[in-house]
Structure 1
Amino acid sequence: MKTKHLFLLISLTLTIFLNGCIGKREINELALVMAVGLDKGKDGKVVVSVQIARPADARGQTGAPAGNTGDPIWSAKAEGKTIFEAIRSLSTFSTRRVFWAHNYIIIINEDLARDGISDIIDFFTRNPELRMRTWVVVTPNKASNILSTMTGLEVISGEAMDKLFRYSSISAQAPRTQMIDLQSAYLSESSEPVLARVKLIKRGISNKKPGQEGSYKQIDLSGAGVFKGDKLVGILGQKETRGLLPFIEKVESGVMAVSCPKEPEQKISLELKHYKFKVTPLYRNGEISFHIKYDTDFSMVEAGCPLSLEDRAQITKLEKQVANELKGNVNNIVSKAQKDFKADILELGKIFNNKYPKEWQQIKNRWDEEFQTAAVKIDVTVNIEDTALLFKPTKTGK
């Protein structure tokens, strides 16, 4: 009993010295950042734009409550010699403390990216409030304009961009690069960073004025930006990006529109269902080469011409046609990486290192030169398995 009483007395004594909620932050005192944009300023300065959620107005109501604007977001920007200086400048007119832990995306203007993003990588990986799973993109538009664009389905546009990338693996139009991927490629001995590219296009349709198509600007996935070191050196279109994606990430699906075998003016839509993409490095007599084996299974989801799986001659011709196009896409991105950008965005150095770690130690300091001259052989096989629900062409009953 004495032991229990002594333990209770010690516990009560210790509670006197405990502080409740050390470092607490009240939600109504924080400005929750949903997205951040970075633009090139004057005289070497950087412009930081932030998109901040309005808690009282982010519930989607059509009318504004008393004392509020009705807008779900508040966008603000500040300029500084460094990113941190610009962010601290926000505190001169923000009535709440800027809080970064809920940030969805970092948007970098291409003019700024061409000058280098090493300071951006350093700041956003060093700050303990920031998550490493934040999306990172480049844009030809001003980043501040991307931030202030209202999207159609989501109340907060930062959240909309997050979902745009979360489900982009089924369209295979842009890489899904997060800050952790950017930092990993930047610090790598061989690989170079690739970021998704977004831009504003006139795509929305007015509900109030029918017929006025393109009356609203929307954020659209538009290929990828290629870096060498920390500098943007080139842009990939959507077709080139589709050739790149199997090298760097898992693709869930994809759509190809190809010409009908007997009626080239008509189109057939094929959906990628399964694939195996394997890159095998070879090192013989001091020569580096790579063998790419790309096996794909497609499903026919739309046919603009009569076509049946029973007609093996047409299906074989179609499979060969698709294989040639896929091989062309891969050949094209390999050529661009080796000759135009001279940057290993394909992660071939990483694959070589995994198989030949001892030999890699001998060539890693000259990998840039070795990568540009490495031979790459590509074999593609295509199998069109089914046509969804229809196994015979759809014909009129007349």
Structure 2
Amino acid sequence: MKHIKIIIFIFPIILLSGCYDRVPIERTSVVSGSAQDIIDDNLLSASLEYLIFTGKEKISKTVSTQTGQSIYDIFNKRLLEAKKTYLTGTIRSLIISEDRARYGIDDIIDSFMRDQERNINTTVVVCKDKAVDIIKIEPKESNTMSSEIEDLIKSSYQTNFNQRDTNIKDLYNMRFQEGRRIMLPYIEKYKDTVKISSVAVFEKDKMIFKIPSEDVKYVNLIRNHDTLGYLNFSGEKPLESFDIYCKVNRKVKADIKNDNINYNIKITLNSLIKENSINKFKEMDKKTIDTIQDTYSKELKSKLESIIEKYKSNYGVDVFDIQKYAVAKLGKDKADYVSSKFKDSNINIEVKIKINSIGRVIR
């Protein structure tokens, strides 16, 4: 009986101790997104999109902007004005303006990785114009614009061979793994919402250019493994089209001979036929399928070779994430050497379109 009384006495203490130093939800502001801008290259600007719980199941959304000399200078000023407690570990999206990205983002990476209260699964994007203008757009399909941007990026893997997500962890790995560079989704306003329009390319922590929209699909195809996308091949007549939905299997090998670096990329596209309005391919027997695979594999290879030559010779920048294979062979202390040799390297690509399904039989 004595033991039971002790248990009854201790149990409420254990149960309620987890509430110590906690704040009621009515006194909190749940931060959903962060927008990072820069003013005249000498003053940082950060905007937070957050939800406020006002009781009786009422939730309001607002955006607060503050300026300062550093991320935590801004945060400190914000706390002096705050009337509710900020929950920063709930950030869904980090939106960085192009100007801020070109200035440099090492401080952003450092603050997210160093501060244990920050969410390292936060989705990261670069945007055209001011990031605060993006985060202030009224959401159409969610409670906050940050949530919509997160959903946009996470669902985009179904097309254009985009990688499945780009979060703080990915950003950190791209920044500090030898032989790699940061590449982030680039968004912009579209009608009354936003869309992915490009990919931002960085040198160390600074954005240097964005990939033109017409090249994005092909750069992604070469760069990303296990991704999905549509490919369209035009026929001889107007509006004749052959369309396939593909899953990419990418393998890369790097060979170093006589101070020359050779990259061999093998791309296999496991494909489903989605549309075929080309008359000469109407009969889908084995011979026709073999012809299709061979014809369009050669056409795609030619396109990818021109993309490789463009970014290797004109930009001298590895947007294909292949230098890491040479660094793995030579050692991480040779990363600068590998980078300096990229423009003169040989990049060979092998392309194989493999038709796995012709779709439902309709005739």
Q: TM-score range by the shorter chain?
A: 0.7 to 0.9
CA distance in 2 between partners of 1:86 and 1:190 (Å): 34
Does the CA-based 8 Å contact 2:33-2:48 persist in structure 1? yes
Between the aligned residues of both structures, percent identity stands at 20
The one of 111, 122, 127 aligned to 2:99: 111
- Asked whether 1:373 is paired with 2:344, we answer yes
- 1:32 maps to a residue whose letter is V
Gaps of 5+ in 1: 60-64, 203-216, 393-398
Q: Which residue of 2 aligns with 1:200?
A: 189
How far does the alpha carbon of each residue in 1:182-239 deviate from its partner, in whole angstroms, 9 at most, with x for none? 111211222110011000012xxxxxxxxxxxxxx21101120000011111111344
| CA–CA separation in structure 1 for the residues paired with 2:55 and 2:126 | 29
Q: Which amino acid aligns with 1:383?
A: K
Aligned length: 355
Q: In structure 2, which of residues 250, 253, 257 is the aligned counterpart of residue 277 of structure 1?
A: 250
- The superposition leaves residues 344-368 of structure 1 with CA deviations (integer Å, 9 ceiling, x where unpaired) of 33332322244x2xx3357334222
SS at match of 2:143: coil
CA distance in 2, matches of 1:229, 1:169: 25
Distance 1:249 1:265, change over 3 A: closer
Alpha-carbon distance between aligned partners in 2 of 1:253 and 1:281, rounded to the nearest angstrom: 25
Q: Which moved more, 1:316-325 or 1:81-90?
A: 316-325
Deviation per residue, 1:141-190 (Å, 9 max, x gap): 21011101123222322211111122111112644321111111211222
CA–CA separation in structure 2 for the residues paired with 1:231 and 1:336:
21
3-state SS of 2:305 partner: helix
AA of the residue aligned to 1:390: V
Instruction: Read off the aligned partner of 2:34 and give its amino acid letter.
Output: V
Is the alpha carbon distance of 1:362 and 1:165 closer, same or farther for their aligned partners in structure 2, counting shifts above 3 Å? closer
Deviations 1:40-81 (A, max 9, x none): 12461111011102335997xxxxx6xx8xxx4211111111
Once the two structures are TM-superposed, the CA of residue 85 in structure 1 deviates from its matched residue by 1.5
Q: Is the Cα contact below 8 Å between 2:27 and 2:53 reproduced in 1?
A: no
2:309 paired residue number: 335
**SS of the residue 2:90 aligns to:** coil
Name the residue aligned to 1:213.
none
- Stretches of structure 2 lacking an aligned partner (at least 5 in a row): none
Alpha-carbon distance in structure 2 between the residues aligned to 1:57 and 1:325: 61
Q: Distance in 1 between matches of 2:340 and 2:331?
A: 14
* Counterpart for residue 237 of structure 2: 263
Provide the aligned C-alpha RMSD in A: 3.1
Residue 47 of structure 1 corresponds to 45
Residues 231-250 of structure 1 aligned to structure 2 (within 5 Å): 231-250=206-225
* Deviation, structure 1 residue 377: 0.6
**Residue 248 of structure 1: how far off its partner (Å):** 4.6
Compared CA separation, residues 361 and 292, structure 1 to 2 (3 A): same
Name 2:24's counterpart in structure 1: 26
Q: Specify the alignment match of 2:196 in structure 1.
A: 221
- Residue among 150, 155, 158 paired with 2:146: 158
1:205 equivalent in structure 2: none
Q: Give the match's secondary structure for 1:136.
A: strand
Q: Decide whether aligned partners of structure 1 residues 23 and 237 sit closer, same or farther in structure 2, where only a CA change above 3 A counts.
A: farther
How is 1:1-398 mapped onto 2 (pairs within 5 angstroms)?
Answer: 21-42=19-40, 44-56=42-54, 72-172=60-160, 174-175=162-163, 176-202=165-191, 217-260=192-235, 262-272=236-246, 274-306=247-279, 307-310=281-284, 315-316=289-290, 318-354=292-328, 356=329, 359-360=330-331, 363-390=334-361, 392=363
1: CA distance between counterparts of 2:106 and 2:215? 26
- SS of residue in 2 equivalent to 1:53: strand
Deviations 1:235-294 (A, max 9, x none): 11344222233455444421122213x53542232211x432111111223321011111
Change (3 A) 1:328 1:157: farther
Q: TM-score, normalised by structure 2?
A: 0.86
In 2, the alpha carbon distance for the partners of 1:58 and 1:119 equals 40
Residue identity in the other structure for 2:99: D
- The one-character-per-residue Cα deviations of 1:293-325 (angstroms, maximum 9, x if unpaired) are 112132221233444243667655543453245
Distance (Å, rounded) in 2 between the aligned partners of 1:57 and 1:245 = 46
